[in-house]
Structure 1
Amino acid sequence: MRKFIILSAFAATLFVSCDDTRKVLHEQYLEYVMHTDSLDVVHDAMTVHHDALKTDTRTLAQKLKDVEETDSIAIADLAKHQVLLKEQATSLSKLKKLIESHADVKSYFMSDSISVEQMEAQLVEMEANNTDIAARLTQIKTELKMIEAEQESLKKTEKH
């Protein structure tokens, strides 16, 4: 009987500690979801900026084509910008899918059908994804600023 009581106490302690672990993991998950949501807002703003710059690039390319004495370097720069913008569009699309995938696991993650080990692995993956997303968005922002600055320079030379 004494063994049964000790075993029951041990099982109850294990159950409570496992429940606390789940609670902590659920809280961590919600923090990652908030981080993902903020990355999504940044992503959407970056997409709007990207699309506007893409339109600007097309307009500037057309204007430069219409001017006969256009510098071939300027046209080459615009071609480089168009390639970079196309790569960014692909990257932004992939990042959006990755951001959306975090929301897809919510019901699974918050259920009792997922083990603590699976929860921990999911959190590690989400953290890595968020780090990658943030780094790529920062890189795209830097590239967009560079393209914008170069195109402003081209617009000024076009007017002269």
Structure 2
Amino acid sequence: MSTSFPTTASACDEMDKLTIVNPANLYDPSAHGYSVSVVAPTGGRVAYVSGQGGVDDNGAYSPEFAVQVKQAYANLGKVLDALDATPAQVAKLTVFVVDHDPSKLGVLTQTVAEMFGKTLPAQTLVPVPKLAIEPMLFEVDAVVVLP
């Protein structure tokens, strides 16, 4: 199954769209908050967003995983705003989860669905023993396609 979505709310030109490709002969990952692959349009510029952690505006980290995840995605949203981009322009996410276990997938899937809706980017989850600083429990980086 292949679907595409506009890179901006007003985009209607096929050349400005990312194309999601979830092959019919592979497991459909959309229920888990990601797509198998995303194809960028010809001529699109690419922005690579550094890992965003769950740090709030005061430089503090909540001890709760879910709070950090939501804050990290809010921080990613601020970067997208600064790039004059939308979540629909995110082609790829890489998430890093400290001490990952299956109980954390629900929080991740829900948060991604809230931000991206049905326009799910490709995504890789990497379990890690720790991140750059001790209070960090989660980090997300992104590849964004700009017109």
Fold shared per TM-score above 0.5: no
Q: Comparing both chains, which one has the higher relative contact order based on Cα–Cα distances under 8 Å and sequence gaps of 6 or more?
A: 1
Instruction: Place the TM-score, normalised by the shorter chain, in its bin.
Output: under 0.3
Q: From the CA coordinates, give the structure whose radius of gyration is larger.
A: 1
Bigger share in strand: 2
TM-score by length of 1: 0.23
Bigger share in helix: 1
TM-score by length of 2: 0.24
